Amino acid sequence: MDTKKIFEKNLMTKTDKVKYVIKELERLYPNPPIPLLHKDPYTLLIAVLLSAQCTDIRVNKITPILFKKASSPYKMVLLSIDEIENIIRPCGLSPRKSKSIHGLSKILISEHNGMVPQEIEFLEQLPGVGHKTASVVMSQAFKVPSFPVDTHIHRMMYRWGFSNGKNVVKTEKDARRLFPKKLWNKLHLQIIYYAREYSPARGSKKELDYITKHIGRKYDKY
């Protein structure tokens, strides 16, 4: 970075940097699609659960097979846990995920009339559904302002100097504080797409990662 750019970077306040990120992400990804294939809140919930430690690409190859057999909790409980596991095995952690899918489907039927609850506290009580998964469903299925923090967002919030990188709880708190609430649902997708394309965790593309170079930490700091 040349002297002029360093000088400009040092003059930017955190508010300036946040506005810059919002502007650039809107320019790059004005209409970011939801990465996981789904048709309703239930299929989104299952897809997000499957995405833990698995790529979206792989999940999108497996869910059509699973949903062809069972696209509702009523149909899912008719499958055995072993049947579910055999289908979702390529997604990894299949023994745990299959039990969670079967278990949460039973709970949705018995406690929620077969519907995915629209309250995050009830979502988080379902087997295999943590805070991030629940937040994604709240954001993408029900359009409730949420800021789900995955590894991509956690990485970018640190690289941009917006959070200290200690844990995702702190990162989510910082993101909610810095970014306007009305933009949360869109921004969390935009950041994910930017991180994947310009600033992956491995195989650094620092020559492409222009936002970090403009407002963030030096690459030798992480």
Catalytic residues: 132, 150
Burial class (CB in 10 A: 0-12, 13-18, 19+), 100: buried
What tokens appear for 220 in the block?
């030798």
Residue 209 to residues 32, 67, 153, 165, Cα–Cα distance (Å): 19, 37, 14, 18
| CA gap 46, 84 in Å, rounded | 12
Radius of gyration, alpha carbons of the chain: 19
| CA gap 33, 10 in Å, rounded | 34
Residue 70 to residues 9, 63, 78, 82, Cα–Cα distance (Å): 53, 10, 8, 14
What tokens appear for 103 in the block?
């278990």
Scanning the structure block, which residue is given the tokens 């930490």? Answer: 217
